[in-house]
Structure formats: structure tokens, C-alpha cells
Amino acid sequence: MRIHRLPPELAAKIAAGEVIERPLSAAKELIENALDAGATTISIELRGGGAELLRVADDGCGIEPDELELAIARYATSKLRTPDDLQAVATLGFRGEALASIAAVSRLELVSRPRHCAAAAFLRVEGGTIVARGHCAAPPGTQVTVRDLFFNVPARRKFLRSAVAESRAILHLVTALALAYPEVRLTLRDEGEERFSALGNGSLRDALVRCFGAAVAARLLPLPQPDEDDAGIQVSGVVSPPDLHRGSRQHLFFFVNRRWIQSRALTAAVEEAYQTAIPAGRHPIAVLDIRLPYDQVDVNVHPSKAEVRFLREHEVFTAVQRAVRRAVVEAAGIPLVRSSFTPAVMPAGGSWTEPPGRLAVRYDTLPERRVSGEDVWTASRTAAAGSAGGSAQPGAAALAPESVLEEPGLFRVLGQISRTYIVAEGPDGMYLIDQHAAHERVLYEQFRRRLLAPGAPGASQALLQPVALELGPAQAAWLEGEQQTFERLGYALEPFGPTSWLVRAVPAALAAQGAAAVEYLRAVLDQLADERVPDVERRERACWSLACHAAVKAGDVLTHDEMVALLRQLERCDFSRTCPHGRPTIVHLSHAQLEREFGRR
């Protein structure tokens, strides 16, 4: 076969197909042009999902009358001059391809009037050929009308999505841009009806209300002020609290220097910050505004500019994760922060362990997170087991001078019901705690901390007699690869034949459970050797799975001190309100709810 040059018309169509894939891409390019032109009002109009008609009108700087033809020529742009400019692109557009591409595959009309011109100039183009030009009356700004997109590219036209799907995608785009540019009045009309309108008053809060509704917007948490040491990377915006989530990732918005982008890495960073705080399969809401020096982002890596590359990806990832995590932990932390609380009634039986003065402590001044006494729960179980059903107080008290039992706690344990729930009074009413879910959360966080900070002292407890662990080949292979993980969790392991191991020590948190702690290891291995999950996640799951196996079960009778110790530790968790699977650990009936229920108000 002979090689020949494509006729320019066909070459243009092929090139256009890359830039303009569907009506959504045309809408994105046109709105970006309006934003680059400094518009404060942008109106978008659709018919037939944008394939029949797509019109974007703005009040931006306009195009000089003698430059209209240049604007629709390929590789013609006002935004770049030298090759160096490409290293620090500050505008949304920069390739000079969009108008040319759209013009090649539609019937396009371009009307524009810079403020200093008395009249507007216009140009009409069909399939890339200019068919009319002239002057007309129009307000300052630019109006681009695209009709019959892909009328001359039947292959593409055939594959277009339904008008409804396309309209929805364009609405999503406009919503995203309204979040990135709260100072711009963006409006969208579809088939003559207004579908979206932004206030354009510059307030992100107001934009959030327009995009998510008032109820959701009110609950979104602002990220903490960016750290100063983040070397030019600033992350701001809002995220949802852990109990507000969605079934898809549609509500994660990332803006990098005000460019809306998609990013698997950033999505992972955000979702990781919510790790175990929201149920599996659910996703948070986030609107993140990431700013960094222009020369640290390569924006020229994707045909529709929907992705970027970071010079220091890891730093950006970390900055995002840290900011989100801080906001989430603050929101998810101790559920009881009400400094106004003073215990009204002292029980006659006097199981208060604190004098009333200490209980009036300001609860909101509790330290953010402390590790001391993290194994007290276990030790208290041992003590209780050893004291033949009597008071475990001596054993528990002997543990450590600053034993959790002696610190003022937020909860006063009243008892256990159904051998499953702990009933407690707290700063605002009554709390029911699922003992398994709560213990699972406590253990999970201890294990996870161990994984992150190996070599923590007191992490493991030697067994009096080493226990042999016989494994199947898959489990054995897996344990060999992950020996370090389990050692960090507190197991001491020694190979003992091809598929056997000797367990010499177990995690201190499980010490009281003796040989059962070895069985948990086997159960975890069985579970993990089966699953096809990436290594990092496996470690996470090892923590989950171990916590789940080792936690007290529903049906276990707990002593008073065991319950107290468990609640003290739960208070100290990052995400005290959910178990690692995202189920709630606490059900709360506030004073106000109680009063309402009893008709007191």
C-alpha cells in the first residue's frame, strides 16, 4: 500500500475527534475560554444534550474583529508565546485547538465584541469552512453557538450518548466549575428551562448550597488552615463528616490551580483519610482547592486536560491526606463535647468513681490522642478473670499509676443489656454502646498504630510455652511474605518446618486470651490468603480481621470494670463512633430527646 498525505479536511476531522469527543467536551472548552477571558457572567444553553445546540455566552474581554479567523485556526492562541510558557501555564486553555476542532465538526457561529468596539463581528463556519462573516449588534463579550455537532462525522454521531445523559454530564461540569469559580455567575438552560444558576457573589458557601442543597452544605466541614511548612502546596475546601456519604465518587471534586481535574491518586488520598470511618462501598463528599506554583504542575498530559501531573506528587498527596484527615478526625472524635455539662444527680448507690468536682472537668480539653494505658482493657480482663467474679478494682488499679480507670471518663457505666450493649450516662444523656463494635474499633486502632510505628514498647507478650501453628501451603506462603507485618502487630514467629511456625509471643492486647490469640492468627491468614487484594490493603485488613476475631463478642458477659475500661479506650479512638466496618459503635439519646419522649417539653 502506498502512503499518501491525508487531505487537510480529513486530517482536521481526525484531530478534532481527539479534542472534541462529545458535547460535554465542547461545552468544557467553551466555558474554559469564557473563564480565561475574565468573564463574570457565563450563560450556557443546550438542546438535544448539546448535540443539537450548544451556546456559551460570556461578558469577557472579547476577540478583536480582525482576529476572529485566527481564533478558529488550529494552534492559534493568545495564551502562550514561547516554549517556556508551557512550563507554567496559568490559563485553562493553551493549545489553541478547541475552537478549530469544534468548527471542523459542527456549524459554528462566533460573535464577539471587545468592550472598546462599538459593534460585534461575527463569523459562521460549517465543517471548518467559513460561510459568512460580518458585523452585528451584540453586548460586549463573546457568544459561541455550536449546532449539529458531528453532522459531518457520522461515525462519531452514531456513538453519542442519549441527550439526557449528556445534559446530566454537562450539568455536572457546570456544577464543578461553579465550585471552582464562586465569583462567576454561571447559568445553565436545557431545552429552554433553567437547570442551574450560581449566585456568583464569590462565596464558596453559597456555591456549595447551590450544588449540594442547603442541608448538605451546612454539614460540610472546612479544612483546617493549610500548614505553613507545606512548601508552596496549599489545600483548602470542605469535606463531609464521616456520617454523610454517597454511593458514588461523583461528589469528589479536585481543583488544581482552579482547574477541575480527575485524579486516582487524590481520590485515594481522600478516601484513605476516611478509612474505616465510613461504610465500605460508600464515598465522602469533598471539594478540594489545591494551589501550588504553576511550574510544579504539568497540565499538558491529557487530551481533554482532565488530568495533570505533579512534579512532587507524593507531597501533594500527603498534604491532601493530612488536611482531610484532620478535618475528619476532629468531626468524628469524641461525640460528647459539651462543656456546659455538669452531672445533675448523684446516684445513691454511688458507683461514681469520681468526686463530682472532677466530673465537671471541661470535656473539650481532653488531649487529642494518647496512647498511655492502651492495654488496660486487656489487663483489666485478666484481673477480672482472676478475681473470681469479685471486684476487679485491685487488679486494675495495680496496673499503672495513670491507669485509664483513674482518669475522669466521659461515661458512667450503668450496666449491660442483652449481653451485647453497654448502657452509660454521658455528658448529654444516655449512650448505648455495642460492645463488640467498640472493642473492635479499639483494637483496630491499636494494631494500626503498631503497623505505622513499629517497635512500640510493650507491643507483645511472650507465651509461657511456644505454640506450633500448622498452616496450609497458601497460608504458609503468605505468612512468610508478611512475617514482618505480624511481628509489628506483636506476634513473634519462627519458621518450624516447611508449613509450620512456632509462635513465641502474641500482641499484648490479646495476651489475656492466651492460646486463642494464636488461633486468631490462623483465622486471619485463612481469610487473607483467599482474597485477591493489593498488599497495602492486606495489611489494613490484617488489622481489621485480627481486631474482629479478638474483640469481645455479643453475648459475652462483662464486668463493670471491663466496661469502664472499654469505654475509656473508646473515648481515645480517632473514630470512636464507628467500628472498622463503618457500623456505628454508639447510639445516643440526648437529654433533649429524652425530655421530648417523656413529654416534658
User: Which residues bind to Mg ion, rule: CB under 5 A?
Assistant: 33, 93, 98
The CB-of-79 to Mg ion minimum distance in angstroms stands at 8
The CB-of-19 to Mg ion minimum distance in angstroms stands at 10
Cα–Cα nearest to 131, from 72, 49, 196, 198: 72
In the complex with ligand ADP, the residue whose CB is nearer, 100 or 138, is 100
Other Cβ atoms less than 10 A from the Cβ of 14: the count is 12
Pair 563, 361: CB distance under 8 Å: no
Could you tell me how many helices (H) and strands (E) the chain has, helices first?
20, 22
In the complex with ligand ADP, the residue whose CB is nearer, 88 or 554, is 88
Residue 71 touches which of ligand ADP, Mg ion, none (CB < 5 to 8 A by kind)? ligand ADP
Pair 37, 58: CB distance under 8 Å: yes
Pair 76, 70: CB distance under 8 Å: yes
Residue 303 touches which of ligand ADP, Mg ion, none (CB < 5 to 8 A by kind)? none
Cα–Cα nearest to 45, from 33, 34, 57, 35: 57
The CB-of-184 to ligand ADP minimum distance in angstroms stands at 13
Question: Given the rule CB under 6 A, which residues bind ligand ADP?
Answer: 29, 33-34, 37, 58, 60-63, 71, 76-79, 93-100, 142
Plot region of 239 (φ>0 → left; ψ -120 to 50 → alpha; else → beta)? beta
The CB-of-39 to ligand ADP minimum distance in angstroms stands at 7
Residue 392 touches which of Mg ion, ligand ADP, none (CB < 5 to 8 A by kind)? none
Cα–Cα nearest to 317, from 250, 257, 248, 267: 267
Residue number with the smallest Cβ distance to ligand ADP: 93
In the complex with Mg ion, the residue whose CB is nearer, 26 or 443, is 26
Residue 576 touches which of ligand ADP, Mg ion, none (CB < 5 to 8 A by kind)? none
Other Cβ atoms less than 10 A from the Cβ of 309: the count is 13
Pairing of strands 41-47, 185-190: parallel
In the complex with ligand ADP, the residue whose CB is nearer, 95 or 577, is 95
In the complex with ligand ADP, the residue whose CB is nearer, 69 or 595, is 69
Residue 60 touches which of ligand ADP, Mg ion, none (CB < 5 to 8 A by kind)? ligand ADP
What would the grid cell of residue 30 be? 467553551
The CB-of-5 to ligand ADP minimum distance in angstroms stands at 24
In the complex with ligand ADP, the residue whose CB is nearer, 63 or 433, is 63
The CB-of-278 to ligand ADP minimum distance in angstroms stands at 39
Residue number with the smallest Cβ distance to Mg ion: 93
In the complex with Mg ion, the residue whose CB is nearer, 103 or 511, is 103
The CB-of-484 to ligand ADP minimum distance in angstroms stands at 51
CA distance linking residue 518 with residue 36, whole number of Å: 63
* CA dihedral angle for residue 193, residue 195, residue 200, residue 202, rounded to 10 degrees: 170
